[in-house]
Structure 1
Amino acid sequence: MASPSSSITSFCFQCEDSSNSVTFRNGWRLRSGKFAQLCHRCASVYEYGRFCEIFHPSDDGWRDCESCGKLIHCGCIVSFNSYLLLDFGGIMCMECSKKNFILARNRCLSHETPVPTEESQLDATQTMIEPQYRPRVTESKLQKISINCGHGVTPLFQKSLTATDADLTLSRLVIPKKCAEAYFPPLSGPHKIPISILDTDGKEWNFHFRFWPNSRSKMYVLEGLRDYMVSKKWQAGDLLFIELNQDRNWSWD
């Protein structure tokens, strides 16, 4: 939490409140090396990490964290220390960066090297996927999905829908890179290939799977989802599960 400033300030940097009774607190560091002076209200919003969300919601520069999908206001001095630029394009919020560092450190400290078996190949693949995408489905949920689909299903991954995933004007779903490369058909070029997916009611939907070049990496997407999104009333924050049934067809809930 920022400490109270000892300097004399005439107005709040954000709301320009200049009341004599205002006690100013330090905000973010300016290019001059000094700190932006904020009134109690603006400082509280800043200290709780909601400054851009409250004061800059309509400004340009909002981007999704490549790991968790959280929206970050990039290019803004206020949020400068809240994200990292990735080597192959995109950003990652500091929370995900810290989690990934801890996971990598724990793997380095581990001396166990499990020998992969045919039965554990799927688990090994899921271990390579970021923790937030690993499926967490209860046995009762799997049984319900299996009954609706008429087949046994194996959970592959899950994703919490971001604001852009739920945008009808885009009508597309971003597939996490490692999930796309682990479970979807390989793509030889930036051309669409048809994908058929069953919903949990057994209805078949036809989409297109492709990737977009993203610096030296790739962004994988499913396109043509408008009718499905309207039917299922997709909203940001909804949790999407991707499964594979015994006929090797994808299904989702």
Structure 2
Amino acid sequence: MIKQLLGFSVLALLQSQAYASLILSIEDAAVQSSQVNSELRVEDFNRISTSQLDGYRTSFGQYFIDSGKPSIQAAGPWGGAQGIGNYLFVPRSKQSAVSLNFFDPVSYFGFWWSAGDGGNLLRVNTATETLEFTTQAILDSSALVADHFGNPNRTNSNTKEPYAFVNLFASTSQDYIESITFYGSNFETDNHSIAYESVALRGRSLAATNVPEPLSAGLFALACLGLAYKRSHKKQGK
């Protein structure tokens, strides 16, 4: 059943007895919204301003400014799905960070990642652990192709940086996502999408990148998916 959920692209990992609590993939170039075939809820930031961001309640969770000066920006060269509306911007200055706390744990989270760079960072909390990802792994992966570079909504705009829709899938019900934090250097993101029920893996799974040896099973699984991460287990009654 788990193999059917994760799909053929990660069967090798399952057969090696490696375990990954989250599976990450990206969609084809120019795709700017979730392509998951499920009942989705989406936040596109088009109905709020910067002054409303801290504590903003969407249909599936609540956003909080943890530090710095994150803002809601109008669509432009650096962000804004389909070149319209607004997007969330987390600047590099003052170690800015924004958290999204889900009202109920989700099996899937997707987001439009624009003007990407290796300093864009994600912290993902599940019921049992905290995972920290660097999007440099996406830049290093063969899943990212030449057509991903440049703003698809503006001809010849910012051609040195990638634009892609990123998917995160929980591999089991125990790994459902409770919260996500966006931080790092100039993180532009839009079209935050969630699903509560388990969904089939889709998109371009990240290829392996320079896996050092030896590795634990969990670390091997994430490295093979092209994820640079730091894992820490949540405290149990301490």
Q: Same fold (TM over 0.5)?
A: no
The answer to which structure, 1 or 2, has the higher relative contact order (CA under 8 A, 6+ apart) is 2
When you count helix as a share of all residues, which structure comes out higher?
1
Q: TM-score, normalised by structure 2?
A: 0.23
Q: TM-score, normalised by structure 1?
A: 0.22
When you count strand as a share of all residues, which structure comes out higher?
2
